[in-house]
Every structure is written in structure tokens, then in C-alpha cells.
Structure 1
Amino acid sequence: MRATFPLAVTALAAALALTACSSDDPNTGTGSDAATGGKNGTSTAAADAGACALTGLNIEVGPANAAPAVGDTGNLPVTLTNTKAGACTLDGFPKVTLLSGSTSWTVTEEKSAQPSELTLHQDESATFTLTYVRGEEGGKGAADTLRFSLPGDSGDKTAKWTYGVIAEKGSGLDATVTPFQTAGD
């Protein structure tokens, strides 16, 4: 009985010490919310972070898994890395447009994908992926430029489209874009 008494007292003291440190104030950074900085898993930094702007991001387009033949599917990832000291957020889908001269096609959002808000701290990255079906040479989907913008940012970024003609689908192109995902997911 003597050996269990000190163990029970130690466990009780540890439990009381942890309870005493708990705080309902998300700004104190202590207690049960210390790991996230806020209540219910909400990061104080995320709550304070504004929308990511293209001017504060390093952008890498590709490398692509290009569709080699008509009817094949290709993927083009775009990686966004926060280069600023503060955090910023990405929420939803990027707006993606494919261009050929004065013709433009808006790329549709992947219907089965569920977007979630991501907070990017300095040097953290997120990606989105454009998936497309290769069309026949000489088809209407002969895009030469990819343009995208981010929710909450008025700027846009362009890149050369060198991955072949995109198949037509309805009045648009057979292409979709995913929501933002943490890089590596």
C-alpha cells in the first residue's frame, strides 16, 4: 500500500497542475489551447492572417505529368510558398483560366473535392492541380497561356501552356482544378 500512495499523490498533483494552467483566453497561449493558440483548435495566427497575395508567394508551375496522347489525362501542379514573415490564408479554389489569343476558358472546380482553409506561415507551401484531357491537334482547345488568381487577391499570374491541346467538353474544355492542399498531402 505504501508504494501506491506516492504514485497516486504524484498523479493527482500532476492533474491539478495541468488543470490550474488551463485558460479560456485564446490570447494567453497557455492551457489546453496552447498548442493551437486559440480555442477549439483555431489558431490565433490563422484568425489574424489575411488572404494570401501572389506578391507574397514564390510560385512554381509544374513539373507536369503531361498527357502524351489524345484522350489521356495530364496533371499540372502549382506550388505556392509563403515568402513573407507573417501568415496568410488560402480558402477554396483558385480561379484558373486557359487562354488562346483572345479566346478564354474558365477551368471548372473539381466537384468531388472539399476545400478547406489553409494557413501558410513563412516558408510553408500549398498546391493546387489542374487536371486535363488531351485533345486532337488543331482542336479548339489549343491554349497557349495559363492564368490564375487567388481568393481575396486582385492580382493574377500567367504561365506558358506547353502541354498540348485540351479536349473540348460542352462549351468549355475538359479540365478541372482542385482546391488548395497543404504541399505533400
Structure 2
Amino acid sequence: MRAIPIPITVTALAAALLLTACDSGGSGTGSGDKNTGGTACRITEVGVQVGPANAAPAAGDTGNVPVTVTNRGARCTLEGFPGATLSAGDVTATVPQDKSGKPEKLTLAKDDTASFTLTYVRGKENDAKSLAVTSLKLSLPGASGSQDFPWSYGPVQGRKNAGDPDASVTALQQAGD
């Protein structure tokens, strides 16, 4: 009865091929990223929560502002550093990237989250080297558009001057489970 093993072998081989073509959407590494189409997450299609912060209480102290991004649309990717700009009236300052961490390519399904942290040194009130920040503008890597958020954590110290903030943003990281 040699006819029986051949259909079973073909069925097993077909099932194995189908299973290797599937993507669990898990860690965002390996061949699963190829199935995302390379669509960058857009700030208009995500929810953004700024804070609650570990605000710097006094001039010279360091504060941390966590930011959580929740995908509200179709599967998308994030890779790199978010854009962050501090504003005080007509004066703006771009927050530099914290290069101590390496960005990873993240794939976010609907309701998946990623996060990053903006770290800053609080400046002195009415000091020429401090930027009296009133808003934070955020953007996501690989996509156009930005969103403004109120800043209530005090002035930010400048390194050389108010336009060179003593602050940094980390790379995006997978958040949650």
C-alpha cells in the first residue's frame, strides 16, 4: 500500500510550507517585517500620551517626560528616533537624539504601543541660557506631520544658549506585553 504515504507526505509538506509563510507578528524581527509593506506610523493615526512626567523640581535638576504612542490604525512600523521640538513663543529648539541606545525596527499592530523618553535639565527662570518652553512638538520617524502638546515642566536649560537645549530623546522602544 504505497499509495497512502505519498498523499500524507504531500499534505505534510504543504502544511509545513504554509506554516513557514505565516507571521505571528511577535517581536518585529526576522521575516515578519517584510510583510508590513514598510508603512511608517503616522502621528495622525496614533494616540500619543505625554507624561505623567518625573518633572525636574528646581534649576539644574534633571526631569524625564515619558511619551507613549498607541497605534489606532492598520499595522505600521517605527524605526529610529522621534522628532521633538521645544517652543517658547517664536523661539524653537530641536531636542537632540540620545545616541546611547540603538533604534530597533518596531512593527505595531492596532492597539500596540511604543514609547520613548525626553530627558531635560531644568533652567533658571528669566535666564538668557534658558528656554521658557510652552509647547512640545512631536513627530514620528519616516512620516510627515507633527502634533503639539503643552509643556508645563518649567524652562529648559541651554548648553551654549537657549536654542541648544540640554535635553535628549531616546529611540522608540516596544512598550507593553
Q: What TM-score comes out, normalization by structure 1 length? A: 0.78
User: Kindly tell me: are residues 46 and 166 of structure 1, through their superposed partners in 2, closer, same or farther at Cα, counting changes over 3 Å?
Assistant: farther
3-state DSSP of counterpart to 1:179: coil
Tell me the amino acid that sits aligned with residue 176 of structure 1. S
Q: Does residue 107 in structure 1 map to residue 104 in structure 2?
A: no
What is the deviation of 1:22? 3.6
What is the deviation of 1:70? 1.5
Question: Aligned partners of 2:97 and 2:136: how far apart in 1?
Answer: 15
Question: Aligned partners of 2:24 and 2:139: how far apart in 1?
Answer: 29
Q: Does residue 152 in structure 1 map to residue 142 in structure 2?
A: yes
| Equivalent runs, 1:9-158 vs 2, <5 Å | 20=13, 21-23=15-17, 28=18, 30-31=19-20, 34=22, 36=24, 41-43=30-32, 46-84=35-73, 86-139=74-127, 140-158=130-148
Q: Does the 8 Å CA contact 1:135/1:167 hold for their aligned counterparts?
A: yes
Q: 2:154 aligns with which of 164, 169, 172?
A: 164
What is the deviation of 1:166? 0.9
Identity over the aligned pairs, expressed in percent? Answer: 44
Output the aligned Cα RMSD.
Answer: 2.3
Q: Which has the larger radius of gyration?
A: 1
Q: Does residue 180 in structure 1 map to residue 168 in structure 2?
A: no
Question: Aligned partners of 1:46 and 1:119: how far apart in 2?
Answer: 10
Of the structure 1 ranges 166-175 and 92-101, higher mean CA displacement relative to structure 2 is found in 166-175
User: Kindly tell me: are residues 142 and 46 of structure 1, through their superposed partners in 2, closer, same or farther at Cα, counting changes over 3 Å?
Assistant: farther
Structure 1 residues without counterparts, runs of 5 or longer: 1-15
What is the deviation of 1:82? 0.7
Q: Does the 8 Å CA contact 1:46/1:89 hold for their aligned counterparts?
A: no
User: Kindly tell me: are residues 116 and 46 of structure 1, through their superposed partners in 2, closer, same or farther at Cα, counting changes over 3 Å?
Assistant: farther
Tell me the amino acid that sits aligned with residue 65 of structure 1. N
Structure showing greater relative contact order (alpha-carbon pairs closer than 8 Å, 6 or more residues apart): 2
Structure 2 residues without counterparts, runs of 5 or longer: 1-8
What is the deviation of 1:45? 6.7
Q: Does the 8 Å CA contact 1:49/1:87 hold for their aligned counterparts?
A: no
Question: Aligned partners of 2:151 and 2:120: how far apart in 1?
Answer: 12
What is the deviation of 1:48? 2.1
Tell me the amino acid that sits aligned with residue 54 of structure 1. I
Question: Aligned partners of 2:107 and 2:146: how far apart in 1?
Answer: 20
Question: Aligned partners of 2:47 and 2:176: how far apart in 1?
Answer: 16
